[in-house]
Structure 1
Amino acid sequence: MQDLPDLPDEINLVTLNCWGLKYISKLRRERLAEIGRQLSIASPQPHIVALQECWTQEDYQSIRRQTRFILPYGKFYHSAALGGGLAILSRWPIEESSMHRYPLNGRPTAFWRGDWYVGKGVACARIRYGPTPKHIIEVFNTHTHAPYEGGKPNDSYLCHRTAQSWEMAKLLRGAAERGHLVLAMGDFNMIPMSLEHQLVTSLAPVRDVWRVVHPDSSLGPSHHPAEEARRRPIPTAEFNIQENGAASDGPYNTWRWTKSQRRLLGLGEPPVTISPDTPDPLGKRLDYIFAGSGDIQALGGGWVVKHVNVGMMMRHPELGCSLSDHFAVEATLAFHPFRQSRPSPPPQPESHSNRDSSAAPTAAGTHDGAAPTTSEKSTTDSALHNGAYLQLQQSPTPSFAHLAETTYPSQLTSFLPSPSSSPAETLPSTAYETILSLIRTYTAREERQLAWRARHFLASLLVAAACLVGVWFTPCGRNYVSFILTLVSTLSLAAGTVDGLMALLFFRSELKALREFEWEVRNARGLLFRGGGGGAREGDGAGDWDWDWD
């Protein structure tokens, strides 16, 4: 085994969606090269970096060259026809790696979206940071299916993201049961406390690191029903960054500006700034770091969340644009010895709605961004004065010393096994019915698609045969008619064959994956209701018996 440095007291983590789609993402080479440079000079130095949408070997190698002295180990993951766009960089050796494809993974018929063709999945890396069997970090980097239909109740891709969160939870739970420190990082395309989010945090012994430090942070953009139900004012851009962790869709990111605003950027152009008090109703959190604790008993302590922030907000030094259409999420885990003592109660988060909304924010001056118009600034100033926007106060979060004193013991205690509960009991029982309803709805859709495409294939055969018969009986001298009939026959048969292959290969395969997912959910629900005894049975909603004969 290679020589390892001294055991770390802290582990610095970074996850970033690089927006590096070949031929599509603008200024891709320049931006990703600068991402590599910024990682190499970051303070504190990152120990593990998870990248998403790093699609090309060229961009990956560019980042590797610049970070090779602080992150000497790395892995670029290959998947499907176009690749998964996932990469993991590490300070410590990567002992094992694998690419786990999601069973439900988009649709080839939606070729303009590309999720199926890139083979969405989980990049898995087993990293050794010390000599003992428990000095292992298992990293799971993912980019789940995009919410193209906005996550609405009739969103046909919601079943994909739910199944992917379920799959991620299984991977995390297995790694935690091996006694390793578990990290899940990436662009999960979900909002906090959604069903997908609850699956990860309830079915696996991990915590959303942002909500550990900011338990009262937002549940989505201001217009989302879950956030609207909290009846909180619209946050400012700075509040969304510092308190809500909104690394996506905020006004600080130049790729979310209008075309007229982006024209102000470029070589030789002066920097464009935005006030931290700018309203930010659309900013949200899609990028996450989930962390476990490691084997507390074997290590004599565990890993706790010390710090978390939104990072990589700098601009390209020459082009003036943001380095990606996402900002990074950065976190620091600290090793904390475990003492068998009663932990202090965690600090109660201060309700932002009860704060003095007329207090001046600490952020003075401006951040990089698009400058608001005079009328917008006047409206914003008035709204801020009247308390219509959430803004930063003098102490948005507890100090690190206060966090260490109050939350570290309780963080560790939350990971210790309790004989009276199991991880599944933390997931609401109604969630299982919700998932089963999603599966049934999506299964019905796919069955209709399979039937329609199978009928189209049969119809194309009849059309092709009829056209060929027509060619046979075409009178002499009407060659153009024969040509048209032959062309129609060929095109019809080609289109029908594609649909026939889709019905035979893709839709049947997806329906089988749905059956497996449904069985797992029913089985988990049965275990919950029966207190952990037995699996899915006939008569308790577990479905029909499946007999496997050798």
Structure 2
Amino acid sequence: MSSGFAPSASSDDAPRKINILTFNCWGLKFISKYRRERLLEIGRRLAQSEYPPEIVGLQECWTQEDYHNIRKETREILPYGKFYFSGIFGGGLAILSKWPIEESSMFPYPLNGRPSAFYRGDWYVGKGVASARIRIGQGSKDIVDVFCTHLHAPYEKEPHDSYLCHRTAQAWEIAKMMRASSEKGHLVIGLGDFNMLPLSFAHRLITSHAPVVDVWRSLHPDSSIGAAVDPVEMARGKPVPSGDFNILENGATCDGIFNTWRWSKSLQKQLGKENIVVEGSLPDPLGKRLDYIFVSDSQFGGSGTPCKWNVESTRVGMMERHPVLRCSLSDHFAVEATIVREAARSLESVEEEGASFLPIQKHMESIYSATPTSPTLPSAPALSPLQTPQRKPTIQGDIYDQILQMISTYRNRELFQRRARLGHFIASIFISIACFVGVWWSPYPFVSFILCFVSTLNFGAGIIDGLIGGLFVSSELRALKEFEWEVRNARRTTLGLGLDIEEDLASPSRTQWFS
């Protein structure tokens, strides 16, 4: 039996254990309260952690000032770091490391929000994937590829979320990157605020399209798949969890009772006078997990004696409050994990382990298949949440079909948006001309002023809509077309049909894209 594994080629100085942390810092400039004080304290807490982190991914660290403050506090344990630049206001991403960063890149997402939704800001921050290649030893395979991201925020409940296609495309992109790195034989770590629930469509897409495991579910396979009030979680028939249970078992990182930024305004004001203690036994119906650490084995892409990374422990971190302000350090808590590397073994022992693992794998597959999902989404693929030596990332055909249907729906919306915005631009030209004609015939100065003012506002709005409809929407349609081609190609490959370029060119939907 062939292994399909990369050679170990790991040096003796490579670490046997790595502590990982991901944290959304909530560092929005001019918006987040006590931003400087909180982010400075975040740096101190990282440096004083009970489990000193060795690889850290930060999100919503928007300003270089905050980043440098964190770097000053953590320089002793995390001497290497990178702040990533993207978009108009910056992506808010940073990676810190105990080991040298050999290469670094920032990959913007092709689908990334809308400029017209300026009050949400997702498009303006240029969301994408911050990547860093970190060398942890002298061996040829002593490489960790770290990917840090912050997916598009949901503003409605699935499946009615108008940005569901954006988040799906972004999950596809980061999964593709992690898969490519794993095939090189590198250890892959994905970090971030993914703005998705466990076992949601995007979550299943990532763990199916890339050989990665959600570290929390690998140790807590029965943990919640949403807040207690969410339909998918209510369908499981579980009792409303306590605050302690949500932290210890469900890994709830946001909206829980322990986070002071989710309290009422009156309770937040009391924090300035006294330290309010929350009983962990109280029910916590809103707590959920949106933050993730994904880890792969470094086993794909060659043959030889493998080494394997296992998840030793995982926990919710950064729950401490600011010592003076008494508020939580962010509106999220962190996710921490410790992974350990097994000693190199022979191929025969690995094959024997794979055979002995099959009963456990079947048991975990039954857990996955029994977990309820949203009625509009396909059932979860029969994959084990644990990383087995033989596992290859695969996606079921119905998931591909679901993505293609999502693309089609969003494409039709964008075509309507383009026609409407370009129509508004053309109409604004005629309205402005009519206003100037009215100025010509107006007998009163104040009427002329009003007509000029209306003409200016109307034409300005028309130009903006014209630019969005003519430039942005066209760009997004082309990005959607590329996404559709990748999904169709992957679907055909999975079904063993191969790539048929002529069929792609002759597709009836091809002529509909830019009509």
TM-score (norm 1): 0.82
Q: Which has the higher contact order (CA 8 A, sep 6+)?
A: 2
Residue 488 of structure 2: SS of its match in structure 1? helix
| CA–CA separation in structure 2 for the residues paired with 1:107 and 1:300 | 45
Cα drift, residue 96 of structure 1: 0.8
Q: How do 1:25-424 residues align onto structure 2 when only pairs under 5 Å count? A: 25-150=32-157, 152-266=158-272, 269-295=273-299, 300-337=306-343, 338-339=345-346, 340-341=348-349, 342-343=352-353, 344-345=356-357, 346=360, 414-416=388-390, 423-424=393-394
Matched with 2:490 is 524
Change (3 A) 1:541 1:430: farther
Q: Deviations over 1:219-239 (max 9, x none)?
A: 111122222221111111111
Q: What is the letter of the counterpart of residue 325 of structure 1?
A: D
Residue 140 of structure 1: SS of its match in structure 2? strand
Q: How do 1:441-452 residues align onto structure 2 when only pairs under 5 Å count? A: 441-452=409-420
Change (3 A) 1:231 1:542: farther
**Contact map agreement 2:299 2:308 (CA 8 A) in 1:** yes
Residue 106 of structure 1: SS of its match in structure 2? coil
Cα drift, residue 499 of structure 1: 0.7
| CA–CA separation in structure 1 for the residues paired with 2:500 and 2:19 | 40
Q: Deviations over 1:346-386 (max 9, x none)?
A: 4978x99xxxxxxxxxxxxxxxxxxxxxxxxxxxxxxxxxx
Matched with 1:431 is 399
Residue 92 of structure 1: SS of its match in structure 2? coil
Residue 405 of structure 2: SS of its match in structure 1? helix
Residue 117 of structure 1: SS of its match in structure 2? coil
**Contact map agreement 1:205 1:415 (CA 8 A) in 2:** no
Q: Deviations over 1:215-259 (max 9, x none)?
A: 111111112222222111111111111111111111011111111
Q: What is the letter of the counterpart of residue 105 of structure 2?
A: S
| CA–CA separation in structure 2 for the residues paired with 1:120 and 1:182 | 20
Cα drift, residue 5 of structure 1: 9.8
Residue 198 of structure 2: SS of its match in structure 1? coil
Residue 123 of structure 1: SS of its match in structure 2? strand
Consecutive unaligned residues in structure 1, runs of 5 or more: 353-409
Cα drift, residue 479 of structure 1: 3.0
Change (3 A) 1:449 1:164: same
Q: What is the letter of the counterpart of residue 258 of structure 1?
A: S
Cα drift, residue 474 of structure 1: 4.0
Cα drift, residue 309 of structure 1: 0.6
Matched with 2:7 is none
| CA–CA separation in structure 2 for the residues paired with 1:539 and 1:42 | 54
Q: Deviations over 1:259-305 (max 9, x none)?
A: 12212212xx4422122111111111100000011137567412111
Partner residue of 1:508 out of 465, 474, 484:
474
Q: What is the letter of the counterpart of residue 244 of structure 1?
A: N
| CA–CA separation in structure 2 for the residues paired with 1:218 and 1:486 | 59
Matched with 2:380 is none
Which structure is larger by alpha-carbon Rg, 1 or 2?
1
Residue 123 of structure 2: SS of its match in structure 1? helix
**Contact map agreement 1:523 1:536 (CA 8 A) in 2:** no
Cα drift, residue 144 of structure 1: 0.5
Question: Which piece of structure 1 moves more, 272-281 or 220-229?
Answer: 220-229
Cα drift, residue 464 of structure 1: 1.4
**Contact map agreement 2:13 2:138 (CA 8 A) in 1:** no
**Contact map agreement 2:207 2:393 (CA 8 A) in 1:** no
Change (3 A) 1:187 1:472: same
Q: How many equivalent residue pairs?
A: 472
**Contact map agreement 1:454 1:500 (CA 8 A) in 2:** yes
**Contact map agreement 1:49 1:90 (CA 8 A) in 2:** yes
| CA–CA separation in structure 2 for the residues paired with 1:299 and 1:40 | 36
**Contact map agreement 1:527 1:535 (CA 8 A) in 2:** no
**Contact map agreement 1:11 1:333 (CA 8 A) in 2:** yes
| CA–CA separation in structure 1 for the residues paired with 2:470 and 2:289 | 39
Residue 220 of structure 1: SS of its match in structure 2? coil
Cα drift, residue 214 of structure 1: 0.8
Residue 124 of structure 2: SS of its match in structure 1? helix
| CA–CA separation in structure 1 for the residues paired with 2:449 and 2:434 | 14
Residue 423 of structure 1: SS of its match in structure 2? coil
Question: Which piece of structure 1 moves more, 80-89 or 299-308?
Answer: 299-308
Matched with 2:440 is 472
| CA–CA separation in structure 1 for the residues paired with 2:278 and 2:38 | 21
